[in-house]
Amino acid sequence: MNAQFDVIKKKRIQMTIILLVMLLIVFGAKVLTDFSFMEGLASIPGTVFWMFTNLIPTAEAMENFPKVMERLWETIILSILATTTAGIFALFFALFGSKTTKINGLLALLSRVIASVFRNIPVVAWALVLVISFGHNVVTGYFALFFTTFGFLVRAFMETIDEASTDSVEALNATGATYFQMVFRGVIPDTLPQMLSWVFFMIDTNIRSATLVGLLTGTGIGYIFDLYYKRLDYPTVGLITLSIIVVVIVIELISNKVRRMIL
Amino acid sequence: MQISEIASSTTSSIKVRNGKIQIKTFNRSNFVLQLTLAFLIIFTVVAPFFLDYKSIDLQTAIFYTVDNLKMMFLQPALNQITIGTALIQILITLALAFLSTVIGAVISFFLAIACAKNLAPTWLSNTIITFNSFIRAVPTVLWVLIFAIVAGLGSVAAILGMTLHTIAYLSKAYSESFEEIDGGMIEALRATGAKWWHIIVHVVLPQTSSYMISWTFLRFETNYGVAIAMGAAAAAGGIGFELFMSSSFYYDLHEVGAITYFALIIALILEVISVQIKNRLIGSR
């Protein structure tokens, strides 16, 4: 009885200490970033009200619609293209890096490290460096998206391969299959649906990242958003935001549907 | 006896063509898979022709990029800012990410209770899911810029924008882990006459806390990257802003390299911690 009481008491003390430490960090972070909860809370109703009064596309804004569509189309192509090409490279790196399909330990470590570095260098850094030599061009956006997508997909594919295919790999190895037979007959068919699902997830993410990259590098929908935002032409900004919402939700719906069918 | 005769005599489900046993049969999911794959491959081949390259000289551009990347990664140096400033800016970025994760996590917890199908009515859960997908559809940077019009550019707008996306992400993750709770436990507590908050405190929290911690830290890791981006694109301060200044203002690639290394090291540390937390709390499969 007493021992049990002690356990509960100890847990309570532990929880209190964790909570206090968290509060301390929150306070420190608040001071460091000059953030005020009150100001944040106070600006929410204002923003919502502002959104409903200013971000509604007017007839004038609709005149910019063809321009917006052109840029949006560019962004969609860019996101899908960056994802699919990165996916092809990521597949090979994932095969080299995964525990079940690695060729040797050194190569596995190398591909893991490369992927991790690409994944963790912020997309902003890529965009800002590439824009210096490639200029305000779609190629800048493409490479910036490609590098981060590649890093992420290697991790995702590697986990998929590790989780899914040990049994079939073992069975194929037992029958004396070669490495290539094992990979192309066992691992890839097993993991393809899951990997495609990751590719769809990444296309979705990339459309949003493409907006950010476009803002920094002057390409795609991000550029046109920045343009009208700085011109204070808010109805057009609203139109652009709405069209991004529609595209992202449509792509999400399609990918959910496909995912449900193939998984 | 021929192979085909053996095959047809054993089971009728085995199909044989050209003397080989067919191991693949038609099914819908396979068909959709192949169709999707074909679409993606055709798109990848055809799409580059739809883009407008504005007569870019690829060869020189690649040459300069390689040169720039060399400057960036092989000769990193801090020129405009000191190492102390860089560290403080990193801390600010971490603080931005931390604040938006914590605020987001607290709000998400309550939203997730209202969103989990086994704890809340269906209409409420559907409303929240729709609301979340609306929030998620708008890129973070646009949220931050929209908030900036009322709150002004700076940490308030950045944290509000990042918090919104954190809420959309975490409330989905939390509610999914709530939905995996054994329904019997909730029923048992309800049968004893436990109140709604008893169920939350004594079943939901203990059962899902390890999942929630691991998801929250994963989001913190993501938010760190987002905070860098917001610093660069929406002037939220922190290391992202320094990155933007040194590349677009001073054209100092050595400094861009040094800052990138700083950001990278922190990101790698966060990733290692997040994997450790996941393995320790949930257990690696």
- Count of the separate structural domains present in chain B: 2
From residue B240, alpha-carbon distances to A58, B32, B190 in Å are 35, 42, 50
In a domain, B222, yes or no: yes
Indicate whether B190 and B246 sit together in one domain. Answer: yes
Q: Which top CATH class is A59-262?
A: mainly alpha
In a domain, B191, yes or no: yes
Indicate whether B131 and B261 sit together in one domain. Answer: yes
Indicate whether B19 and B106 sit together in one domain. Answer: no
Indicate whether B99 and B42 sit together in one domain. Answer: no
Q: Which domain holds residue B9?
A: 3-50
Q: The whole model's pTM is what?
A: 0.85
Indicate whether B40 and B99 sit together in one domain. Answer: no
The domain spanning residue B206 has which CATH number? 1.10.3720.10
pLDDT of chain B, 285 residues: tens digit per residue: 455 555 444 555 666 777 777 766 677 888 888 888 899 999 988 888 877 777 677 788 888 888 888 888 888 888 888 888 889 999 999 999 999 999 999 999 999 999 888 888 889 999 999 999 899 999 999 999 989 888 888 889 999 999 999 999 999 999 989 988 888 888 888 888 888 888 888 888 888 888 899 999 999 999 999 999 998 888 888 898 998 888 888 888 888 889 999 999 999 999 999 888 888 887 644
Interface size A-B, in CB pairs within 8 Å, comes to: 207
Please list every residue in chain B whose beta carbon sits closer than 8 Å to the beta carbon of residue A216: 232-233, 244
> A103 CA to chain B: closest CA distance, Å?
22
Contact B154 A128 (CB under 8 A): no
In a domain, B200, yes or no: yes
From residue B152, alpha-carbon distances to A57, A258, B111, B145, B155 in Å are 23, 42, 28, 9, 9
Indicate whether B120 and B259 sit together in one domain. Answer: yes
Instruction: Let me know: does B159 contact A40? Beta carbons within 8 Å.
Output: yes
Indicate whether B194 and B273 sit together in one domain. Answer: yes
Cα separation, A93 vs A89, in Å, equals: 6
Of A84, A117, A124, the CB nearest to B43: A84
Mutate to test the interface with A, among B42, B54, B55, B150 (most CBs of A within 10 A): B150
Residues within 8 A of A (CB atoms), B 161-190 only: none
In a domain, B64, yes or no: no
Reported ipTM: the value is 0.86
> B105 CA to chain A: closest CA distance, Å?
13
Indicate whether B31 and B142 sit together in one domain. Answer: no
The residue of chain B nearest to residue A39, with distances taken between CA atoms, is B156
Indicate whether B101 and B199 sit together in one domain. Answer: yes
Indicate whether B141 and B241 sit together in one domain. Answer: yes
Indicate whether B40 and B81 sit together in one domain. Answer: no
In a domain, B128, yes or no: yes
Cα separation, B46 vs B85, in Å, equals: 47
Mutate to test the interface with B, among A32, A74, A228 (most CBs of B within 10 A): A32
Indicate whether B44 and B173 sit together in one domain. Answer: no
Cα separation, B225 vs B162, in Å, equals: 11
